[in-house]
Structure 1
Amino acid sequence: MTDRKRPLRSAQWFGSADKNGFMYRSWMKNQGIPDHEFQGKPIIGICNTWSELTPCNAHFRKLAEHVKKGVLEAGGYPVEFPVFSNGESNLRPTAMFTRNLASMDVEEAIRGNPMDAVVLLVGCDKTTPALLMGAASCDLPTIVVTGGPMLNGKHQGKDIGSGTVVWQLSEQVKAGKISMHDFMAAEAGMSRSAGTCNTMGTASTMACMAESLGTSLPHNAAIPAVDSRRYVLAHLSGMRIVDMVDEDLILSKVLTREAFENAIRTNAAIGGSTNAVVHLKAIAGRIGVDLELDDWTRIGRGTPTIVDLQPSGRFLMEEFYYAGGLPAVLRRLGEAERLPHKDALTVNGQTLWENVKDAPLYNDEVIRPLDNPLREDGGICILHGNLAPRGAVLKPSAASPELMKHRGKAVVFDDFDHYKARINDPDLDVDADSILVMRNCGPRGYHGMAEVGNMGLPAKLLEQGVTDMVRISDARMSGTAYGTVVLHVAPEAAAGGPLAAVRDGDWIELDCDAGRLHLDISDAELEVRLAENDPTEKSRRIASDGGYRQLYIEHVLQADEGCDFDFLVGKRGAEVPRHSH
């Protein structure tokens, strides 16, 4: 421990010999806490998203115990507290709907309670951004501990990737290539241990983002959930957070503009999820960093994807960790002078480059050399045009190269229900060159912007051997999904965006190299069509239910702004609220 740079925040609760100090200490002592624990020790909050309804995070009780051991060893006192656990696998309509709610829970729990620093226990997709958003708004010393990915799935003697295999096998069922029995047989083998998806889905992507941002210890992103080294890392993180209090290493010293630029470059190298675009924007907005969609083009484009993981490649997170994990990726980028800011500070007090410059790399197939990439240009493709005035995104590493420049006729679905009712109609006027368009699935239109953008292809085309088509929507897609899918079209149709004007048979042009997404009608015709559309009708109908849904509809920002609530953007700090005694 070093000399402390500022008084303990928790002393405003426990440090006085008056009526208030008496009450705060006395109530805490009913848990059997001895008096000396309140004598100048840093109080470390452990923010836990454990829930049996969030299976990815269901092992977090044990993880928290190892964090506590580290805190105690380093001379702090740990206090664990629960927050809303927005798990992707069970929560309807989508965990994204409650990401901002969870962030509010985290923010107010941190600000209103006696803690000097916080350890964030994160895992399933939205828990990572939600907890970082809430913590960023408070700006205390903060460290991230991820729950880790599941072991490789197994089916018919082969490795299968969680999430990804669902999309693959369901398409094969519709194409008549496998039976329903074969499909269901994969269910038990897909998720065979604690942890998050074992593909480079959104959970693993956001774990990599947390590590590349500098908010976690090295190797946090990839250690499997059931590997004993996961618990060692939790213990070491508990030790480290106590020193961070002494050093006054608050979150804003780590979450700098430079850190976000490192994360964007990293996302390209790992073939990360498109959801990272929305989440990084939201986190940046909370800490006060101006991050824009075009930064993904400026920083990420031209970066090769060197991690050969599903859904873009072949392997899974176990192999990624055994090959060297994220430190090995960052080392490869840095040695090729492709890591934008080597001197960015991380939570262990060292720079990002100091952490990774000697990182071992064990497998050139899983983590490829830059001159033998999985994809020459894996940076998220940002698209603009009259169909997406404020932008849209596409993940090149998961797309078909021959479709990255494509012109086709639109087949339009007014919402997800319309898509489900229409997609397998034998009389649907669609061929392999068509472009599937789905609207009213953005933040307002399908409250929460569900992961439905990777629309399954028409059964009659799957039977013909078609495996990919251009798909466009204002929705998101799971990081475990794949295909030539244009997502996050902004503004969304329910907010008056041009998707609302597209009609069956319209020609649409996609050109990823040029960053262009164009609806081939005149500006005058587009204006006339949009004037005929009332984007507020559906929003009013949803909002009429009241409650959180109404709050969400009235305050959610568009995808290019991170889908945060307008009143949550910005850093409010951790000033202790007035006591009520």
Structure 2
Amino acid sequence: MTEGTRKDAASLRSARWLAPDDLRSFGHRSRLMQLGFSEEDFAGKPVIGILNTWSELNSCHSHFPQRVVDVKRGIAQAGGFAVELPTLSVDESFTKPTSMLYRNLLAMETEEMIRSHPLDGVVLMGGCDKTTPGLVMGAITAGVPMIYLPAGPMLRGHYAGTVLGSGSDAWKYWDERRAGNVSDEQWRGLQGGIARSAGVCMTMGTASTMTAITDAMGITLPGASSIPAVDSAHSRMSASCGRRIVDMVWEDLTPDKIVTDAALRNAAIVAMATGCSTNAVVHLIAMARRAGVALGLDDLDALGRVTPLLANVRPSGKDYLMEDFYFAGGLLALMKQIQDRLDTACLTVNGKTLGENLEGAEVYNDDVIRPLSNPVYHEGSLAVLRGNLCPDGAVIKPAACDPKYYQHEGPALVFDSYPEMKKAVDDETLDITPDHVMVLRNAGPQGGPGMPEWGMLPIPKALIKKGFRDMLRISDARMSGTSYGACVLHVAPESFVGGPLALLKTGDMIRLDLVNRRLDMLVAEDELERRRAAWTPPAPLFERGWGWMYSKHVTQADKGCDFDFLERDFGAAAGEPDIY
């Protein structure tokens, strides 16, 4: 944007609160003075909101109090006025039954905090899984200039000379402990070594997937998503976010100019190339629908078929973690490898195009970030299945499971609840074979509630003891982005609302044909009709509060699990508040 088209102080959004010589604005200014500020601090300056998802139960964001200081420094350097506003933290570790139940609450809070306060622009501080899509969804709808500050990955884990990856190695060693191969002392050592610093999971789980998506989408500073949380470069990046958001306000660089169809397509391609979490599907679709972009499951599957996996980072990769990815060149280097597949004309928050940001990007370790000639996996990270078991779609991560399950037929072993399943898998006398297909239902958006990360069903002890570590598992749940195995997820529609999964019985044969993207139960249609006629809906899980609201309005997994009344096509917002 040229200098002549820059905003002036009178046209700032915050000026409606602070500039007029009237009683209302007198009250606004006096309350700022009550906080210790003088008119020299805020008069005629862009007011920048720092939306901070820090809490003392969110270990991934434990460095955010210092990063707020860094952001404020940058805002002051650029001539802005910084105000910090707390938002819902939705940490991944402690929030039950699942943080996904509250992603939309964070999105609503973000939108309304921006809409109701005198903010000209916002810095969004997030990283732990649902904080990224929640913040971005709300900010897209609010429409003021915004920049995303990713928390960054934690340092790699260590125990007894072994490098540990958060999540992925937890599942691995838990299976070994259940098999009797890990002692109490070893288990405590693993527990103390697997998470060594502030920051999100250092595998390519949901957190690093979603921050990479924001980076590729153009709403972070270029390459910001790769910087480890405790690296000094992260502090400098945070201050740069503060400086840049002030200029974005003067330039009126709003989200609608950045979060476009092409930018979201770029984000999806990059996600596939990183070995992304399956959760990316739900969140990408939700963010796209907030921006009015028609991105669906079939679009993601089509991109997955032609996008190679280049990031050799666990769990889809075998050898490395996010710290290695950063030192190998980070996300900019990976995007440089697939530059000809991206729309490099897309505008980004630094005011430059994606192509300009990729100039000079270089790979420093081509085993961590593979060239197109030597991918980790010839297709992308995700595949979308359809069939009579999932007419609206289901998701699988082919690169993270044994190829022998790409085509598989076996009898179903069906569980109606997580406690029922958990009890069964610990029963060493369970009648099960490696050819069985474990099925968990009533774990979707409404049935979970909130679509918990239960989809990586534990391998039964009866099989663990015999040396088996993978088998085909199906659910309407999600799974952690750090998980792995032959897990079919996000079955839609979910069983709780009467999807075909509700009609399945133990012993029914199931066929997975990954090549042809099919998932079917081999049950005659007339028999399914009889079962459908006999099915009765389960009782509602909530009768009041947030849960009631959630269950009335959440969409299915193939639509992004947003609230129907928050999607862009539902209707126009009321607009800016009138300042009386």
Q: State whether TM-score is above 0.5.
A: yes
Cα drift, residue 514 of structure 1? 0.7
The answer to whether the 8 A contact 1:139-1:573 is kept is: no
Aligned length: 573
1:18 matches 2:18: no
Q: Is 1:243 paired with 2:247?
A: yes
- Inter-partner Cα distance in structure 2 for 1:140 and 1:547: 30
Which residue is equivalent to 1:194?
198
Q: Tell me the residue number matched to 1:578.
A: 578
Query: For the residues of structure 1 that align with 2:195 and 2:448, how far apart are their CA atoms?
Result: 28
In structure 1, the residue matched to 2:553 is 555
Q: Distance in 2 between matches of 1:58 and 1:574?
A: 36
Q: Is the 8 Å Cα contact of residues 2 and 246 (structure 1) preserved in structure 2?
A: no
Tell me: CA distance 1:470–1:523, structure 2 relative to 1, closer, same or farther (3 Å).
same
Find the residue that maps to 2:565 and give its secondary structure. coil
Question: Quick check: 1:447–1:552 contact (8 Å CA) kept in 2?
Answer: no
> How many angstroms apart in 2 are the aligned matches of 1:372 and 1:446?
40
Partner of 2:364: 362
Unaligned runs of 5+ in 1: none
Q: How far has the Cα of 1:448 moved from its partner? A: 0.8
Q: In the TM superposition, what is the alpha-carbon distance from 1:465 to its structure 2 partner?
A: 1.3
2:169 maps to 165
Distance 1:242 1:299 in 2: 36
2:324 corresponds to which residue? 319
Deviation, structure 1 residue 186: 0.3
Q: Larger deviation: 99-108 or 180-189?
A: 180-189
Question: CA–CA distance in 2 between the matches of 1:54 and 1:531?
Answer: 46
**Does residue 1:36 correspond to 2:40, yes or no?**
yes
Q: Per-residue displacement from partner, 1:127-169 (whole Å, max 9, x unpaired)? A: 0010001101111111000111110101111210011111000
- Deviation digits for residues 522-551 of structure 1 (CA, Å, limit 9, x no counterpart): 12211211222223x23x2x123x111111
Tell whether the 8 Å contact from 2:430 to 2:462 is kept in structure 1 after alignment.
no
Give CA deviations for 1:407-452 in whole Å, capped at 9, x if unaligned.
1111111111110121232342211111111100001111110001
TM-score, scaled relative to structure 1: 0.96
The residue type paired with residue 128 of structure 1 is: T
The 2-side partners of 1:150 and 1:228 are apart by 13
| Aligned equivalent of 2:529 | 527
Inter-partner Cα distance in structure 2 for 1:389 and 1:357: 43
Q: Which residue number in structure 2 is paired with residue 330 of structure 1?
A: 335
Equivalent residue for 2:564, pick from 560, 563, 566: 566
AA paired with 1:558?
Q
Deviation at 1:199, TM superposition (A): 0.6
Distance (whole Å) between structure 2 residues aligned to residue 50 and residue 497 of structure 1:
38
The counterpart of 2:347, out of the listed 345, 348, 353, is 345
CA positional deviation for 1:76: 1.0
Determine if the alignment matches structure 1 residue 98 to structure 2 residue 102: yes
Q: Distance in 2 between matches of 1:450 and 1:398?
A: 20
Does structure 2 conserve the Cα–Cα contact (< 8 Å) formed by 1:147 and 1:196?
yes
Q: Does 1:271 align with 2:275?
A: yes
What amino acid does structure 2 have at the position aligned with 1:481? S
Residue aligning to 1:284: 288
For 2:263, give the aligned amino acid: A
Are the equivalent residues in 2 in contact too, given 1:218–1:327 (CA < 8 A)?
yes
Offset, 1:326: 0.3
CA distance in 1, matches of 2:355, 2:418: 45
The CA distance in 2 between the partners of 1:512 and 1:409, in whole Å, is 17
1:433-448 map, 5 Å: 433-448=435-450
Q: Among 400, 403, 424, which residue is 2:402 paired with?
A: 400
Q: CA deviation at 1:574?
A: 8.5
For 1:471, the equivalent position in structure 2 comes to: 473
How far the C-alpha of 1:378 sits from its partner, in A, is 2.1
Contact 1:409 1:435 in 2 (8 A): yes
Matched residues in 2 for 1:379 and 1:528: separation? 38
SS at match of 2:313: coil
What secondary structure, in the 3-state scheme, does the structure 2 residue paired with 1:567 have?
helix
Is the contact between residue 277 and residue 481 of structure 2 (CA under 8 Å) also seen in structure 1?
A: yes
CA distance in 2, matches of 1:87, 1:331: 32
Give the deviation of 1:61 after TM superposition: 1.0
| TM-score (normalizing by structure 2) | 0.97
2:259 paired with 1:255: yes
Deviation string for 1:97-131 (max 9, x for gaps)? 11111111111000000010110001111100100
Q: Unpaired runs of 5+ in structure 2? A: none
- Per the alignment, in what secondary structure is the counterpart of residue 64 of structure 1? helix
Letter in 1 for 2:323: E
Give how far 1:231 is off. 0.7
Q: CA deviation at 1:556?
A: 0.9
Given candidates 307, 318, 334, the residue that maps to 2:311 is 307
Judge conservation of contact 1:265–1:379 (CA < 8 Å) in 2. no
C-alpha separation in 2, matches of 1:427 and 1:162: 31
Report the residue type matching 1:530 in the other structure. Answer: R
In 2: Cα distance, 1:416 partner to 1:301 partner: 33
Letter in 1 for 2:445: P
Does 2:140 correspond to 1:142? no
Distance 1:396 1:574, change over 3 A: farther
